[in-house]
Amino acid sequence: MVDTIDTLVEREYAFGFHSDIDTEIAPKGLNEDTVRLISAKKNEPEWMLEWRLGALRHFLTLTEPTWPRVSYPPIDYQDMHYWAAPKPKGPSPTSLDEVDPEIRETFDKLGISLDEQKRLSGVAVDAIIDSVSVATTFKATLAEAGVIFCSFSEAVQDHPELVQKYLGSVVGPRDNYFAALNSAVFSDGSFCFVPAGVRCPMELSTYFRINAENTGQFERTLIVAEEGASVSYLEGCTAPMRDENQLHAAVVELVALDDSSIKYSTVQNWYPGDKNGKGGIYNFVTKRGRAGNRAKISWTQVETGSAITWKYPSVILQGDDSVGEFYSVAVTTNHQQADTGTKMIHIGRNSRSTIVSKGVSAGVAQNSYRGLVKVLRSAEGARNHTQCDSLLMGPDCGAHTFPYVEVRNDTAQIEHEASTTKIGEDQLFYCRQRGLSEEDATNMIVNGFCREVFDELPMEYAVEAQALMRLTLEGAVG
């Protein structure tokens, strides 16, 4: 078993290359000048700048939260770049063909083709390197259906009324420490608007890539589904291997108006650091959605990367009969730390939520589920079922479960179940007796353990997620 764990810690991060792209970078430091510079670079209207400055001023009054069960040396927020962008070679590309070949190649290496013709799956991609969106595919097709899918910067320019209406409506600029930071310095991200009654004709996807050094990435995603609309969205992320930790503090806001549905899937594979815990991304993310009457918000996440993950994709179940779901697989190996879970805030009558969390821990990693289920007095007939399972692979890792349940309505039915076990020796033995290698058997068992969550992913990503799991756990038989 020790051997196999050694194999595990020696695994290579497959996406750790660094691309040689000319980069334009803002000076280090977090202050009003930085914020003004970012806003000016993006040619933002005055209201956007004021919004950022308000967030910055509030951020400066806050102290960093210490309640997550993670530990890391103090972050020097002044010793960091807050904006980096691939330097345009000449005028900005007017079509995908004009995208810098280096960037194209970067995404090709990641398996994300920016070429619409080659893309058979019918998935529209917004590709973001460091702070800037470099390409969005299938825009025209989407526009025909009335769907707006573009970078956040473009949205500020082209659809200011929508941005102004919804930005900060779910995660306010003062929401928490990292959300305030993001609100002040966010650089780009994806914007998606699906008008009333429209079922988005294809999967939408954003691919995030950190490339530059010493740079924080602060993207902001806003998805609005009007009445009766529906959309499925997926984000993926990778970063080069570097010895320094890099901060990624994103905010995702989902607005699901009455009768709409938003499915948001994440395959998070930021660089996790090396086997000694050196380097890796600090992934401190705020994700939240608000669901109107009969609306449904479903979060699915497969978290395999990052040195530290701190995120709680949540749903405010404001409308009657609204539905919130959270399906999560979090895998930590080596020195990775994850403190992740969800909040389901039941406000509407007959609102329902489901939480399925699967944590896998190996090496000396620490993996915590932290969740809140809150039923307000108005939430007549609210229902929640939470299933929270942890799998331990090795004697030196940790798996923790910190649920909070607060119930203020007696017609609510809340059930929370959790279990923590080591990977079943009898299961392993059974598989091996049938001829599977120890590694295949482990993979099979871990995949089975996570099956419920993978099933929630869009088909092709489910395959990708399983491949990623296999890679992450390579050799982690225990």
Partner 1 sequence: MLSIQNLTASVDDNEILRGIDLDIAPGEVHAIMGPNGSGKSTLSNVLAGREGYEVSGKALFDGADLLSMEPEERAAAGLFLAFQYPVEIPGVGNMYFLRTAVNAVRAGRGEPELSATEFLAEAKEKMAALDMDPAFLSRSVNAGFSGGEKKRNEVLQMSLLQPRLAILDETDSGLDIDALRVVAEGIEALRDGERSMLLITHYPRLLEYVRPDTVHVLQAGRIVREGGPELAHELEESGYGERPVDDTSAPRVSEPESGPDDSDARPQARSLL
Partner 2 sequence: MSSDTVAPEVPTGSEEGQGVPAALEALLAAGDRSAGAWATEWLAHNGLPDPTAEMWRYTPLDSIVAELGRTTTGDPTGEVEMADLDRLAGRHGSTRIVFVDGRYSSQLSDETGRSDSAGAGSATGPLPPGVRVGPLGAIASAEGAGGETTSDAATALLGTWAATTAESAGADDGFSVLNAAARNEAAVVSVPAGVAVGSPVHIVHLRTGSAEPSAATLSQPATILDIGAGASAQVIESHVSTGPGVTNAVTRVRVGPDAHLTHVRVQDEHAEAVHVGETVIDLQRGAHLESASLSIGAQVARNGLSVGLNGESAVAKLSGLSILSGSQRHDTVLSIDHDSTDCRSEQDFRSVVDDRARSSFCGHVRVAHGADGTDASQSNRNLLLSRTAQVDTRPWLEILADDVKCNHGATVGQLDDEALFYLRSRGVPVARATSMLVAAFVAEITERLEPESLRHAFDDAIRRLDPDVVLTTAAVRSDAADTEEAGS
Is the torsion defined by CA of 392, 447, 368, 61 positive or negative? positive
Subset of 459-478 contacting partner 2 (CB under 8 A): 478
Binding residue for partner 2 (CB under 8 A) from 176, 214, 420, 447?
A: 420
Subset of 377-416 contacting partner 2 (CB under 8 A): 377, 390, 392-416
Minimum Å gap between C-beta 395 and partner 2 is: 5
Q: Please, which residue, 85 or 355, has the CB nearer to partner 1? A: 355
Interface characters, 38-67, with partner 2 (x: CB under 8 A) = -----------------------------x
Which of the listed partners (partner 1, partner 2, none) does 351 bind, with a CB threshold of 5 to 8 Å by partner kind? none
Minimum Å gap between C-beta 381 and partner 1 is: 11
Q: Please, which residue, 121 or 413, has the CB nearer to partner 1? A: 413
Two tokens at 477? 């038989």
Q: Please, which residue, 413 or 437, has the CB nearer to partner 1? A: 413
**How many of the chain's residues bind partner 2 (CB under 8 A)?**
36
Interface characters, 406-445, with partner 1 (x: CB under 8 A) = -------x-x------------------------------
User: What are the angstrom distances between the C-alpha of 246 and each of 60, 75, 156, 211, 283?
Assistant: 20, 10, 27, 10, 8
Q: Please, which residue, 61 or 95, has the CB nearer to partner 2? A: 61
Q: Please, which residue, 103 or 414, has the CB nearer to partner 1? A: 414
Which of the listed partners (partner 1, partner 2, none) does 395 bind, with a CB threshold of 5 to 8 Å by partner kind? partner 2
Two tokens at 399? 């798996």
The footprint of partner 2 (CB under 8 A) covers 67, 69, 377, 390, 392-422, 478
The footprint of partner 1 (CB under 8 A) covers 383, 413, 415
